């Protein structure tokens, strides 16, 4: 199939799919239908800059499959965004939602922009224009957006408001990850990081390692990385390394997570937190630790980094942090390194987004305890199913997790018939 889906991140998603399709013995003739997105939308978003000029930003939304329900997934504002990256992220959302048992296909969207270079007024203009251009293609039962890198609750509130103005009524079920004051759910802000820490606790249990006194290194200190750090520290794990784009810190005695979080709240980045603990960002991932949490971008663990990892647990909070070449290395190190694959590890976010959507549709809101208890229940269930498959078939954790997701979508497609 000749197509527009290219680039290293899409190649990763395709290679992973081929490995899983081989393991599941999916016939060649069924594979393109499972892999390639149903719809890929490209838009131009012109906005007025503060200096009076007009800038046009490229935006995308990819809806991978519609077999199990509406599509679901975040919106990324980052310079790296292109159709290949967004498509890969949409495909991963499909396997993630199916693994968690959510009634969704995968989607992802984004704008090629550095959001930190825009003023608040420009960011609002871009967010509103993006949603406005997407109105013909999204809806509470068609495609439901959420935050991802570079977007947040405020951007979701602007999306919701823009969509609602066009409908002439409040439609808060059009996006998730909104502020609680605008129809968001308790627990969504921290859900992904909390889920990462919960699954790390399950992995520690399985390895007979106590949480208290274990050490963790976290790359990325945004929504996911910071909440994972808070929850791990609460469990007694010592956070010995953290980084973002602006700084990297490492201290074997442990960093003060409360102070890191307060610094982020005051300054918006890690720069300036400490002079003593400054460290080389290129060496952070390969330092000895019990738990390594990449919580930033794709492809940071490649065939050069993988042989040098010195962690016992690799908890993939980011989407796609490990390349297929690195996976081959990790396969040979599978007794040393316990991988919690991304589609399992970071699924807490979309799980609580699902709870938010359900609450918005019903206009009946749950308390935080109910949200977190249900979240832990779905994560435990997915974790157990992945481990059962690993034990039964002796396959790598990623293959087991993806196989559960791919198999569910494949079976649903088969039952619905080949032709419309
Ligand atoms: N938000 C969510 O609910 C979910 C997010 N994810 C995934 O988690 C990851 C992080 O997302 P999220 O926390 O929301 O995004 P944020 O934008 O909130 O934070 C991203 C963090 O990563 C850092 N970062 C970016 N590039 C690098 C780099 N090269 N080295 C070190 N740090 C870097 C950023 O630093 P800086 O600010 O300095 O650029 C920032 O600290 C992404 O892969 C995303 O797809 C997965 C599931 C759900
Ligand atoms: O909350 C959601 O709907 C999607 C979150 C997301 O983008 C992801 O899991 O990668």
In DSSP notation, 21-67 reads HHHHT--HHHHHHHHS-SEEEEEEEEEE-TTS-EEEEEEEEEE---S
State in Å: Cα 29 to ligand 1 middle: 37
Note whether 8-185 and 189-340 share their fold.
Answer: yes
Find out whether the beta carbon of 73 lies less than 6 Å from any atom of ligand 2.
yes
Residue 3 pLDDT level (bands cut at 50, 70, 90): confident
What pLDDT is stored for residue 2 in this prediction? Answer: 52
State which of 88, 223, 271 you would mutate to test the pocket of ligand 1, scoring each by most atoms of that ligand within 8 A of its C-beta. 223
Residues 6 or more apart in contact with residue 321 via CB below 8 angstroms: 294, 296, 297, 298, 299, 300, 301, 342
Q: Please name the helix (run of DSSP H) or strand (run of DSSP E) that holds residue 71, with its range, or none.
A: strand 71-78
Mean pLDDT calculated for residue range 102-120: 98
Over residues 210-224, the pLDDT tens digits come to 999 999 999 999 999
CA of 376 to the centre of ligand 1 (A): 23
Closest atom of ligand 1 to CA, residue 320: 43
Question: Could you tell me the distance, in angstroms and rounded to a whole number, from the CA of residue 73 to the centre of ligand 2?
Answer: 4
- Contacts of 387-394 spanning 24+ positions with Cβ under 8 A: 387/206, 393/23
Nearest CA to ligand 2 atom 2: 350
pLDDT over 70, % of the chain: 99
Specify the pLDDT at position 143. Answer: 98
Tell me what pLDDT residue 299 has: 98
Question: Does any ligand 2 atom lie closer than 6 A to the CB of residue 349?
Answer: yes
What is d(CA 321, CA 318) in angstroms, rounded to the nearest whole number? 6
Q: How far away, in angstroms, is 19 Cα from ligand 1 center?
A: 27
In the chain, where the domains are located = 8-185, 189-340
pLDDT of residue 32 exceeding 60:
yes
Q: Is the pLDDT of residue 339 over 80?
A: yes
* pLDDT bucket at 66, cuts 50 / 70 / 90: very high
CA distance 7 to 115: 23
Mean pLDDT, residues 19-29: 96
User: Where does residue 139 rank: exposed (0-12), middle (13-18), buried (19+ CB within 10 A)?
Assistant: middle
Report in angstroms the alpha-carbon separations of 373 from 5, 196, 315, 355.
39, 15, 21, 12
Ligand with minimal distance to 176 CA: 2
Q: How many angstroms is it from 367 CA to the middle of ligand 2?
A: 21
Indicate the top mutation candidate among 144, 229, 244 to test ligand 1's pocket, ranked by most ligand atoms within 8 A of CB: 244
Structure confidence at residue 23 as a pLDDT band (50, 70, 90):
very high
Residue 139 per-residue DSSP state: B
Classify strands 39-48 and 291-294 as parallel, antiparallel or unpaired.
unpaired
Residue 420 scores a pLDDT above 80: no
pLDDT of residue 1: 60
Give the C-alpha separation, 184 to 123, whole Å: 21
Instruction: Give the percent of the chain with pLDDT over 90.
Output: 98
Find the residues whose C-beta lies inside 6 A of ligand 1: 147-150, 192, 219-225, 243-246, 269, 295-297, 317-319, 346, 349
Closest atom of ligand 1 to 146 CA is 3
Q: Which two tokens stand for residue 333?
A: 């190190």
pLDDT of 242-293, one tens digit each?
999 999 999 999 999 999 999 999 999 999 999 999 999 999 999 999 999 9
Residue nearest to atom 29 of ligand 1 (CA): 245
H or E stretch covering 413: helix 397-416
Establish whether residue 350 lines the binding site of ligand 2, counting it when its CB lies within 6 angstroms of any ligand atom: yes
Report the separation in Å between the CA atom of 413 and the middle of ligand 1, taken as the mean of its atom positions. 33
Which of 72, 78, 110, 222 has most ligand 1 atoms within 8 Å of its beta carbon, as the pocket-test mutant? Answer: 222
Listed residue (277, 271, 235) closest to 254, CA to CA? 277
Radius of gyration of the CA atoms of the chain, in A: 20
For atom 4 of ligand 1, which residue has the closest CA?
A: 148
Longest dimension (CA), the chain: 64
Q: State the virtual CA torsion across 151, 152, 156, 159 in degrees, nearest 10.
A: -30
Reported as type and span, the H/E element at residue 241 is strand 238-243
Q: Residue 403: is its pLDDT beyond 60?
A: yes
Q: Is the pLDDT of residue 61 over 90?
A: yes
| Mean pLDDT score, 25-36 | 95
Q: Which one of 72, 96, 108, 408 is the catalytic residue?
A: 108
d(CA 111, CA 193): 24
Start-end of H helices in 142-246: 153-167, 188-206, 223-234
Q: How far is CA 278 from the centre of its chain?
A: 28
Query: CA distances (Å), 97 to each of 228, 246, 318, in order?
Result: 21, 33, 16
Measured CA to CA in angstroms, residue 350 lies from 155, 238, 279, 343, 393 at distances of 17, 27, 33, 10, 28
Spatial separation of the C-alpha atoms in residues 355 and 23, rounded to whole Å: 32
- Nearest partner of 115 among 67, 69, 93, 147, judged by Cα: 147
Query: Which ligand 1 atom is nearest residue 188's CA?
Result: 3
pLDDT bucket at 417, cuts 50 / 70 / 90: confident
CATH superfamily of 189-340: NAD(P)-binding Rossmann-like Domain (3.40.50.720)
Note the ligand closest to the C-alpha atom of 178: 2
**Ligand 2 atom closest to the CA of 354, numbered from 1:** 3
The interface predicted TM-score of the complex, written ipTM, equals: 0.99
Predicted confidence (pLDDT) at residue 147 exceeds the cutoff of 70: yes
Angle between helices 324-332 and 8-24 (to 10 degrees): 50
Output the residue whose Cα is nearest ligand 1's atom 47. Answer: 346
| Residue 112: per-residue pLDDT | 98
Q: Average pLDDT, whole number, for the chain?
A: 97
**pTM flag (> 0.95):** yes
Q: What CATH number labels 8-185?
A: 3.40.50.10860
Active site residue 108: yes
How far does residue 348's CA lie from ligand 2's centre (Å)? Answer: 9
Ligand 1 centroid distance, CA of 103 (Å): 26
């Amino acid at each position: 199939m000749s197509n527009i889906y290219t680039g290293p991140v899409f190649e990763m998603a395709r290679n992973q799919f081929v490995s899983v399709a081989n393991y599941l013995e999916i016939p060649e003739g069924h594979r393109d239908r499972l892999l390639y997105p149903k719809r890929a939308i490209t838009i131009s978003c012109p906005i007025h800059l503060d200096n009076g000029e007009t800038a046009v930003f490229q935006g995308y939304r990819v809806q991978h499959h519609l077999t199990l329900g509406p599509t679901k997934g975040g919106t990324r504002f980052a310079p790296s965004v292109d159709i290949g990256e967004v498509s890969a992220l949409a495909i991963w959302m499909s396997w993630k939602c199916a693994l968690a048992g959510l009634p969704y296909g995968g989607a992802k969207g984004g704008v090629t922009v550095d959001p930190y270079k825009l003023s608040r007024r420009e960011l609002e203009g871009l967010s509103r224009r993006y949603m406005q251009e997407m109105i013909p293609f999204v809806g509470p039962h068609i495609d439901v957006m959420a935050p991802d890198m570079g977007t947040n609750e405020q951007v979701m509130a602007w999306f919701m408001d823009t969509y609602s103005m066009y409908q002439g009524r409040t439609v808060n079920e059009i996006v998730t990850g909104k502020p609680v004051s605008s129809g968001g759910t308790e627990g969504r802000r921290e859900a992904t990081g909390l889920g990462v820490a919960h699954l790390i606790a399950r992995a520690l249990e399985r390895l007979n390692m106590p949480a208290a006194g274990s050490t963790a290194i976290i790359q990325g200190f945004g929504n996911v990385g910071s909440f994972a750090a808070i929850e791990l520290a609460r469990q007694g794990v010592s956070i010995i390394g953290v980084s973002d784009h602006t700084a990297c810190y490492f201290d074997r005695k442990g960093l003060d997570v409360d102070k890191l979080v307060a610094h982020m709240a005051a300054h918006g980045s890690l720069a300036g937190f400490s002079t003593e603990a400054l460290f080389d960002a290129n060496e952070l991932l390969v330092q000895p630790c019990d738990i390594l949490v990449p919580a930033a971008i794709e492809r940071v663990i490649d065939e050069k980094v993988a042989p040098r990892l010195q962690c016992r647990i690799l908890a993939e909070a980011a989407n796609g942090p490990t390349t297929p070449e690195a996976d081959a290395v990790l396969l040979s190190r599978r007794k040393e390194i316990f991988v919690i694959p991304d589609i399992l590890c970071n699924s807490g976010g979309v799980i609580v987004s699902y709870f938010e959507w359900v609450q918005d549709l019903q206009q009946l809101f749950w308390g935080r305890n109910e949200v977190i208890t249900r979240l832990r229940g779905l994560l435990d269930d997915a974790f157990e199913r992945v481990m059962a498959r690993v034990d039964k078939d002796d396959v790598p954790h990623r293959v087991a997790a993806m196989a559960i997701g791919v198999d569910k979508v494949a079976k649903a497609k088969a039952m619905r018939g080949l032709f419309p």
